[in-house]
Structure 1
Amino acid sequence: MSTMTAPTRNPSTQPKRNGLTHRHIHFIALGSAIGTGLFYGSAGAIQAAGPSVLLVYLLGGAVVYFMLRALGEMSVRTPMTGSFAVYCRKYLGGLGGYITGWMFAFEMMIVCLADLTAIGLYMKFWFPDTPAWVWIAVTLLIIGAANLATVRWFGELEFAFTIIKVTAVVAMILGGAAILVFNLGSQSDVASVSNLWNDGGFFPNGIEGMIASFILVLFAFGGTEIIGVAGTEAEDPERSIPKAVNTVPARILIFYVLAISIILMLNPWRTITGEESPFVQIFSTLGVNWAAGLLNFVVITAALSAINADLFGTGRVLTGLAKEGLAPRRMAQTYRDVPVMTIATLLGVLVVGVVLNAAFPNVFETIAALATFATVFVWLMILLAQVAMRKQMPIDEQRALTFPVPLWPYGQWFAIAFILCTFGIMAWLPDFRLALGIGVAFLALATAMYFVTGRPQAIEQEEQLA
């Protein structure tokens, strides 16, 4: 019978049991880009940029692609539990791995708390008299059980969630196309391709308006890095990771650019205010009276999927940090390849967070803006780690890479420059200055904690034992 042990330092040499299949990895990659940021958050980006938001989704998608190719290159070369945080430790030093891992964990917990709160609110649509904590408790039980069972259970649950989300988006795209082509619905008279330019042009709020939407668009892509974490749990990472990452351009074109294009063609961009989801507007136009209920179900599914994936990813990243001496040693303990101690700790943190959110409902609204800063910061560290890895590799090893990044090194420098510009945009826009300030303060605190808790010495001891 298996016992709870701390695995050896190099988990990539150990065979995976009940790992994720290619089907799981593909759908995790597919679902990671579809969340509440698409179903509801797209309205804010549209109001900021108008139709030019399509260019922002393309630019942001390119950044995500190069970031994931960097992560894919490292993951295929050396699959390791903890994925990008471990790579940052290896190629950028202990401090780099420490702040990357804990920044990601902080980001994911904030997003989980926001999604848990959202589920409590969404369920009131059908059960207005049931306390929100009941649905939050049920959610934690389901997601916690799936993550504590086996990796395969997590994959199956995420597979089911993704099918629901993808079906909803595809139905929206087909329904919107039908309205445009066949003049269906109650608002067919306003649906036209000309909506992309006939209300102030393609750049109605100028270049500044387009730039202002960068933050919202990049946040919508947050969580895509989970592919790298899930890929290291795959039964065949050398096959699964490249195929999953290479679907990113198509996913972004279909689920964001095409979907948002149809939304903008169906309605003048100024009418997409966010008071209701653009998806509800499409189904309502088609005369689907239960559109609001349908979207409510889909958004709940998206929130469940996000919590499921975030808990999985955070658990693996913190376990990887613990194995590197960058987190409490007990977090390295696993049972049947599942980081039980880490996931149990995270579930406890979520329970405390939900209680605090109920007592102080406005606390997390301010802090949630930090998720944007944390997201792009983690992406930046992934890109820098891959660049550092390349510089440390002999030319013959670089040529032997089985999944090298394309357009090296120009694509990587483009993505890095774009992210650095994003930090500048956060300083420029008043709404994001607080998040930027707190994010910088968190980095300073994490740096101090790295030295105060003796992590450099812990890393040195781990390396001596390896």
Structure 2
Amino acid sequence: MSTDTTSLQRGLKSRHIRFIALGSAIGTGLFYGSSESIKAAGPAVLLAYLIGGAAVFLVLRSLGEMAVSRPCAGSFGEYATKYLGPLPGFLTGWTYALEMVFVCLADITALGVYMSFWLPDVPRWIWLLAAVGIIGAMNLFSVKVFGELEFWLSFAKVVAIIAMILAGLAIIVFGFGGNGGAGISNLWSNGGFMPNGVQGLVLSFAVVMFAFGGTEIIGVTAGEAQNPEKTIPSAVNSIPIRIVLFYVLTLAVLMSLNPWEHIGAKGSPFVEIFAGIGVASAATVLNVVVIIAALSAINSNIFAAGRIMYGMAERNQAPSVMRRLSRNGVPWMTVVIMIGALLFGVLLNYLMPERVFLVIASIATFATVWVWLMILLSQVSARRKMSAQEVAALKYPAPFWPYGQIITIAFMVCVVVLLAFSDSTRIALMVGGVWLALMTCVYYLWLRPRARRAAAADTAPQVSYENESTEGQEPSDEDGARAGLEPVHQR
């Protein structure tokens, strides 16, 4: 099944990359998790999505700058290694893999909730087990087939969201469905636009930022994009309209149909709204859509995790078995690992079905924001090392340099701190801290000793690493970084 000579294929077109990013970002965070953010901030959550979306857009522009200049498998994991050092690169790659695991767990948890809309008496874990098998098979196709499948899955979501917005507007304007209480006045008539004050708005960011998690997959796809210089900017530049349309406008319609405090978390708030006002057929169709959305998001995230772990294996930051590819150019071992993680999610849903979503989502938020911070810091470090001529030659430079990057970095740090202020999200900070400490130990106890042995066995070293004396020619600094070593002198 596997081969070590097959390489990743450049089979992703511009439309594939756009919709893979959509598939990863428009999923559980919007269709299910939005009820948690609405509960925290009320209608002011719209402002939270605009602010968070602006920050994420700048992260993606910073990533796009590096991805266009240096497209590669593993993307920001390699950039962190190159521009920040081996340890940050190691932590970034593995934390992104952790992010994808927990985002997938959140998505598959929500999928079980969606299925209970039709069959509430069937145990949730049965649906999850079936979904794991389907998604695993989809990820073993060639990247071109995968891209096409994800395109159509995400396309169905986009069409459904637009249809939902139009249907919601029709209910608000013309009173279809017999809901006389619908109207945009619901955005300010039930305790005001910011009913829980600034504190509620600030606390909502912990869930809001989870909704945007996965958009950084745009950088991961660069290694398999047919024309990165064209496809990456095109995908990133479409982010603002997605944020306005798929998050802000959608949630504005949602909260106009019913007062915000009536939006629960027993299922998708979109489905609940239409079912509650008597539009049964629309609720059924929307439930199909949110199930597709969950499958699509899981599909995209397994793809992303596989590629980031493949890139890490190329840099000797992960076991070499993760470089094994199928004849279709798919890193199948990483798919197997992700499927194992999903099976763990099935077990969690069996053991603690009521509490599992918010815990998983908050851990995913920590991992997501950590990765975004590393992307920003990598881009800042890369820019500072460039000459004026090199900056002028950038084909897709990030805007608002350097103040936009500084403000966004401060914002991301604040989001991490926010996790400590709620009992339900505080566990994410603890898990995240333990994770970073554990992976740092792995780096110093496993990666560096192995790299030192490799350097000692090298008959033609170039630079002295970690005070080790060598003879003869020396390898380049980049070679040392790929081996997980820290150069004594930076060029």
TM-score, normalising length: structure 2: 0.86
Q: Distance in 1 between matches of 2:211 and 2:403?
A: 25
Q: Distance in 2 between matches of 1:259 and 1:119?
A: 20
CA drift at 1:17: 3.8
2:237 to 240, 243, 246: 246
Q: Distance in 2 between matches of 1:312 and 1:228?
A: 12
Q: Name stretches of at least 5 consecutive residues in structure 1 with no aligned partner.
A: none
Letter in 2 for 1:35: G
CA deviation profile, 1:202-226 (whole Å, cap 9, x unmatched): 2211111111111111111111111
CA drift at 1:137: 4.2
Partner SS for 1:198: coil
Q: Does 1:377 align with 2:370?
A: yes
Counterpart of 2:304 in structure 1 is 313
Q: Distance in 1 between matches of 2:133 and 2:267?
A: 30
Provide closer, same or farther for how the CA distance between residues 314 and 305 of structure 1 changes in structure 2, counting only shifts above 3 A: same
Q: Does 1:146 align with 2:138?
A: yes
Q: Name stretches of at least 5 consecutive residues in structure 2 with no aligned partner.
A: 456-477, 484-491
Counterpart of 1:343 in structure 2 is 335
Greater displacement, 62-71 / 176-185: 176-185
Q: Does 1:81 align with 2:73?
A: yes
Q: How does 1:1-80 map to 2 (within 5 A)?
A: 4-5=3-4, 17=9, 19-80=11-72
1:418 to 411, 414, 421: 411
Provide closer, same or farther for how the CA distance between residues 174 and 83 of structure 1 changes in structure 2, counting only shifts above 3 A: same
Asked whether the equivalents of residues 19 and 152 of structure 1 are also in contact (C-alpha less than 8 Å), the reply is yes
Provide closer, same or farther for how the CA distance between residues 17 and 450 of structure 1 changes in structure 2, counting only shifts above 3 A: closer
Q: Does 1:98 align with 2:90?
A: yes
Greater displacement, 303-312 / 329-338: 329-338
User: Number of matched residues?
Assistant: 457
Q: Distance in 2 between matches of 1:180 and 1:287?
A: 14
Asked whether the equivalents of residues 67 and 383 of structure 1 are also in contact (C-alpha less than 8 Å), the reply is yes
Partner SS for 1:313: helix
Counterpart of 1:290 in structure 2 is 281
Provide closer, same or farther for how the CA distance between residues 295 and 22 of structure 1 changes in structure 2, counting only shifts above 3 A: same
Counterpart of 1:215 in structure 2 is 206
CA drift at 1:343: 2.0
CA drift at 1:309: 0.7
Partner SS for 1:218: helix
Partner SS for 1:454: helix
Q: Distance in 2 between matches of 1:457 and 1:38?
A: 43
Q: Distance in 2 between matches of 1:50 and 1:120?
A: 26
Counterpart of 2:321 in structure 1 is 330
Greater displacement, 395-404 / 125-134: 125-134
Provide closer, same or farther for how the CA distance between residues 144 and 277 of structure 1 changes in structure 2, counting only shifts above 3 A: closer
TM-score, normalising length: structure 1: 0.90
Asked whether the equivalents of residues 124 and 349 of structure 2 are also in contact (C-alpha less than 8 Å), the reply is no
Asked whether the equivalents of residues 176 and 282 of structure 1 are also in contact (C-alpha less than 8 Å), the reply is no
Q: Distance in 2 between matches of 1:199 and 1:125?
A: 28
CA drift at 1:351: 3.3
Partner SS for 1:191: coil
Q: Distance in 1 between matches of 2:127 and 2:309?
A: 27
CA drift at 1:443: 0.8
Counterpart of 1:162 in structure 2 is 154
Q: Distance in 1 between matches of 2:215 and 2:101?
A: 16
CA deviation profile, 1:30-67 (whole Å, cap 9, x unmatched): 33331122112212211211121111110000011001
CA drift at 1:248: 0.3
Partner SS for 2:4: coil
Q: Distance in 1 between matches of 2:333 and 2:14?
A: 27
Q: Distance in 1 between matches of 2:205 and 2:125?
A: 34
Greater displacement, 288-297 / 381-390: 288-297
CA drift at 1:99: 0.9
Q: Distance in 2 between matches of 1:364 and 1:181?
A: 38
Partner SS for 1:32: helix
Counterpart of 1:454 in structure 2 is 447
CA drift at 1:277: 3.4
Provide closer, same or farther for how the CA distance between residues 177 and 334 of structure 1 changes in structure 2, counting only shifts above 3 A: same
Partner SS for 1:223: coil
CA drift at 1:144: 2.0
Letter in 2 for 1:449: V
Letter in 1 for 2:243: I
Asked whether the equivalents of residues 32 and 226 of structure 1 are also in contact (C-alpha less than 8 Å), the reply is yes
Asked whether the equivalents of residues 10 and 223 of structure 2 are also in contact (C-alpha less than 8 Å), the reply is no
When the two chains are superposed, the root-mean-square deviation of aligned CA atoms in Å is 2.6
1:119 to 102, 107, 111: 111
CA drift at 1:198: 2.3
Provide closer, same or farther for how the CA distance between residues 34 and 235 of structure 1 changes in structure 2, counting only shifts above 3 A: same
Asked whether the equivalents of residues 24 and 301 of structure 2 are also in contact (C-alpha less than 8 Å), the reply is no
Counterpart of 2:261 in structure 1 is 270
CA drift at 1:114: 3.4
